């Protein structure tokens, strides 16, 4: 691991090189915490020298994102990766959460010419009946605070369905996260159940006609620009993104 500060740009660069062994998560977390101690304008994670990227690297990057978003104010995390590593990170859904560039020059240019609104908030909840309502209010207040009123209803609908799934199926404590990255609003629910969600045909109970099961992920898919789920070391995270500016819908 390497650590370098750019005083002129106000950034810190953390470099990861070589194979991704079992220590990459711990070593990267240590380096990231040291870099964040300077509270830079942005934290650049240089992965261009990584050999044979694997799921351990994805987990290490997610942990780095958690560290960078946990301090106040949050420090934006920007990734720079080789083509092979870029493909691995994109396939894991990280590009919807974190800006990823293929050259350091491109990343630095983006930081020097743009002042994107970044933000990250989180809420820890228990699998209780009131959790969906609490999460809806939390996300609603966050969206309004970020002046994203047009996303109020879809964001509340998405988080309501994701939290309901966590309460009914995971039945573990879980964390709701909202992140604003570039032109995307990223919503996520992380729980302790490794079982990934799947789309099913809606089923209506004969004894309770208004109780239709299996429509939640359909609502998420229709409301979000993109969505997905990824296993983590302790369970899984289900995420969905919304565009903060008008854009063509992505299938």
Answer yes or no: is 173 within a domain.
Answer: yes
Answer yes or no: is 216 within a domain.
Answer: yes
In this structure, the answer to whether residues 103 and 152 fall within a common structural domain is no
Under a CB-based contact definition with an 8 Å cutoff, are residues 123 and 138 in contact?
yes
pLDDT tens-digit map of 144-176: 878 899 999 999 999 999 999 999 999 999 999
pLDDT at residue 211, as a whole number: 47
Distance of CA 6 to the CA centre of its chain: 26
Predicted confidence band of residue 93 (pLDDT cuts 50, 70, 90): confident
In this structure, the answer to whether residues 43 and 126 fall within a common structural domain is no
The phi-psi region of residue 156 (left if phi > 0; otherwise alpha if psi is between -120 and 50; otherwise beta) is: alpha
Q: Report the distance separating Cα 170 and Cα 195, nearest Å.
A: 8
Predicted confidence band of residue 205 (pLDDT cuts 50, 70, 90): low
Predicted confidence band of residue 250 (pLDDT cuts 50, 70, 90): very low
pLDDT at residue 251, as a whole number: 34
Answer yes or no: is 248 within a domain.
Answer: no
pLDDT at residue 19, as a whole number: 82
In this structure, the answer to whether residues 72 and 17 fall within a common structural domain is yes
In this structure, the answer to whether residues 9 and 104 fall within a common structural domain is yes
Across residues 135-141, what is the average pLDDT?
91
- Structure tokens given for 222: 């229709």
SS3 for the chain is CEEEEECCCCEEEEEEEEECCCCHHHHHHHHHHHHHCCCCCEEEEEEEEEECCCHHHHHHHHHHHHHHHHCCCCCCEEEEECHHHHHHHHHCCHHHCCCEECCHHHHHHHHHHCCCCCEEEEEEECCCCCHHHHHHHHHHHHHHHCCCHHHHHHHHHHHHHHHHHHHHHHCCCEEEEEEEECCEEEEEEEECCCCCCCCCCCEECCCCCCCEECCHHHHHHHHCCEEEEEECCCCEEEEEEEECCCCCCCC
Q: Which of 58, 85, 113 is the last residue of a domain?
A: 113
In this structure, the answer to whether residues 72 and 28 fall within a common structural domain is yes
In this structure, the answer to whether residues 109 and 123 fall within a common structural domain is no
CATH number of the CATH domain containing 24: 3.30.750.24
Domain of residue 223: give its range.
Answer: 119-243
Q: Report the distance separating Cα 103 and Cα 245, nearest Å.
A: 26
In this structure, the answer to whether residues 129 and 78 fall within a common structural domain is no
Q: What percentage of the chain carries pLDDT values higher than 70?
A: 84
CATH number of the CATH domain containing 231: 3.30.565.10
């Amino acid at each position: 691991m390497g650590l370098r500060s750019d005083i002129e740009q106000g950034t810190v660069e953390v470099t990861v090189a070589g194979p991704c062994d079992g220590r990459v998560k711990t070593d990267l977390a240590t380096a990231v915490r040291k870099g964040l101690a300077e509270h830079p304008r942005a934290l650049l994670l240089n992965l261009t020298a990584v050999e044979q990227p694997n799921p351990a690297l994805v987990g290490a990057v997610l942990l780095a994102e958690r560290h960078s978003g946990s301090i106040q104010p949050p420090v934006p995390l920007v990734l720079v990766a080789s083509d092979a590593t870029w493909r691995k990170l994109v396939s894991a859904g990280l590009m919807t959460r974190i800006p990823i560039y293929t050259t350091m020059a491109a990343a630095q240019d983006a930081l020097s010419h743009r002042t994107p609104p970044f933000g990250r908030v989180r809420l820890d909840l228990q699998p209780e009946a009131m959790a969906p309502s609490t999460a809806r209010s939390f996300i609603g207040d966050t969206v309004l605070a970020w002046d994203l009123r047009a996303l109020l209803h879809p964001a509340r609908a998405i988080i309501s369905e994701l939290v309901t799934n966590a309460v009914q199926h995971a039945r573990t404590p879980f964390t709701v996260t909202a992140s604003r990255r570039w032109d995307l609003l990223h919503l996520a629910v992380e729980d302790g159940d490794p079982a990934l969600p799947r789309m099913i045909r809606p089923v209506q109970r004969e004894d309770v006609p208004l109780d239709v099961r299996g429509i939640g992920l359909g609502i998420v898919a229709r409301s979000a620009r993109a969505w997905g789920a990824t296993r983590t070391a302790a369970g899984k995270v289900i995420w969905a993104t919304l565009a903060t500016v008008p854009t063509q819908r992505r299938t």
